[in-house]
Amino acid sequence: MIDARLQPLQRTLLRPAAMIMARLGIHADALTLFGFLVGLIAFAALAAGQWMAALMLILANRILDGLDGAVARINGPTDRGAFLDIALDIVFYALVPLGFAVHDPSANALPAAILIVSFVGTGSSFLAFSIIATKQGRQADAFPAKGIFYIGGLAEGFETIVVFVAFCLVPAYFAEIAYGFAALCAVTTVVRWYQGWVVFAERRDQE
């Protein structure tokens, strides 16, 4: 919902560290892979009920996710980098609720499953819209530096991280938070379906 507004601030904050890493020869893809490894460790911490450790690891994963893009903008973005970034991010997002489900299946399995399905909705609608929009030569003005067309929504990256932080700070309320955010993701998915239906139908009508 506010990712586009946060992009300039994020780039400003991360650029100094990204410039140092670029000078040291650290590749953006290496940061992406290392960030995913940190995400896997965060999953293990969640499954073990180590909430504060998991929180720190989740935040580290997100910082690395921002750094890989910052380094890529300095060295030049690549198709492989964009692919890795999106593919591994989607898996990481699913691992967080799965960690809570593994820790306490009786209380958390159902809300975690519903939340993961809602992530499938937002992720698939995002990718489907992006594929067609890119095919048509469209560009998202709010995200000009991204590797593919980015469509916004109520539930975006910033909101997801806020929810993950809340999970770790108040794990007893995981179910309530998960159901609430799943509903927000469902709204985002339906809106994207509608946008795709309208936008791509308009293109066909114009042709």
Q: What angle do CA 57, 62, 68 make, to 5 degrees?
A: 120
Please report which confidence band the pLDDT of residue 28 belongs to, taking 50, 70 and 90 as the band edges.
very high
Q: What pLDDT was estimated at residue 200?
A: 84
Q: What angle do helix axes 51-75 and 157-169 make, rounded to 10 degrees?
A: 160
3-state secondary structure of 53: helix
User: Which of 75-79, 113-117, 136-140, 168-172 shows the lowest per-residue confidence on average (mean pLDDT)?
Assistant: 136-140
Closest CA to 88 of 35, 47, 126: 35
Does residue 142 contact residue 156 with C-beta atoms inside 8 Å? no
Domains recognised in the chain with CATH numbers: 3-206 (1.20.120.1760)
Spatial separation of the C-alpha atoms in residues 186 and 1, rounded to whole Å: 14
pTM, entire model: 0.86
At 52-62, the pLDDT tens digits run 999 999 999 99
| Helix (H), strand (E) at residue 42 | helix 28-47
The tokens for 1 are 């919902």
